[in-house]
Chains A and B, each alone.
Chain A
Amino acid sequence: EPEVTQTPSHQVTQMGQEVILRCVPISNHLYFYWYRQILGQKVEFLVSFYNNEISEKSEIFDDQFSVERPDGSNFTLKIRSTKLEDSAMYFCASSETLHGGYTFGSGTRLTVV
C-alpha cells in the first residue's frame, strides 16, 4: 500500500534554531498538507499546497513557517526560528482529490528545548 514518508521521526532543536521537516507524498497525489498535534490536543491544520503554491493556511502558519516542493517528490516544512510552543507532532499528508480522505505520514516529533 502506498504511503507518505516523513523524516526525521524525531528532532530535538534549541529555541531559535531553524528546522526543516521532510515528507515524500504518495507519487500520484496532487494535494499536500501539513498538520500538527500538540501532545494531548487535537490535530490542527497548518497549510495546504497545490500546483506548487499554498492554497490555504491557518493562523498558526505565520511568517516563521514556509513550505516548499523543491524537486517534484519532496515536500518540506521549514520553521525559521523555533519557539518552545512549536513542540508537537507534525504530520504530512497527501490526497489524490479534494473530496476524499487523505493519507498521513507517520509524523515527525519536534521537541524545542
Chain B
Amino acid sequence: RKEVEQDPGPFNVPEGATVAFNCTYSNSASQSFFWYRQDCRKEPKLLMSVYSSGNEDGRFTAQLNRASQYISLLIRDSKLSDSATYLCVVNLTPGGTSYGKLTFGQGTILTVHP
C-alpha cells in the first residue's frame, strides 16, 4: 500500500463548481497533515494544515478522519486561479520513526475552465 495515496484526476470543472479531493495514508503514527498546491514546474506551497476537528480557510475546507486514515479537501466556488496540482502531505514527527519528514502523495490535477 502506498504511504500517501490520492486520486490523480484530472478533475476538469467549470468556474463556480465545488470539487472534493480525497487522500488516504498508511501509517497510523502520522501526526501532522497538510494540503499543498503546486503550479506547473514550481515549488509546493502550503495551502492549509488539516486538523481532526476540521478547518476552513475561505473557500477551502479540510477534514481529517484518523480512524479511517483519510483526509479530504473541499474547494467551493472554484476560480480559474485554483487550477493546479493539489498535494496531500503527511508528517511523521518524533515519537514515530521520522524526524519531521514530509511524505507526499502523487497529487491531484485540477483544471478550472470558464
Contact = CB atoms under 8 A, between A and B. Distances in A.
Interface stretch (A12-20, A44-52, A67-75): A44-52
Nearest to B94: A98
B107 A50 contact: no
Contacts of B31: 99
A95 B89 CA distance: 15
B91 interface: yes
Interface string B1-41: 00000000000000000000000000000011010101001
A41 B105 CA distance: 10
Interface of B: 31-32, 34, 36, 38, 41-46, 49, 87, 89, 91, 93-94, 98-107
Interface of A: 31, 33, 35, 41-45, 48, 50, 55-56, 89, 91, 95, 98-107, 109
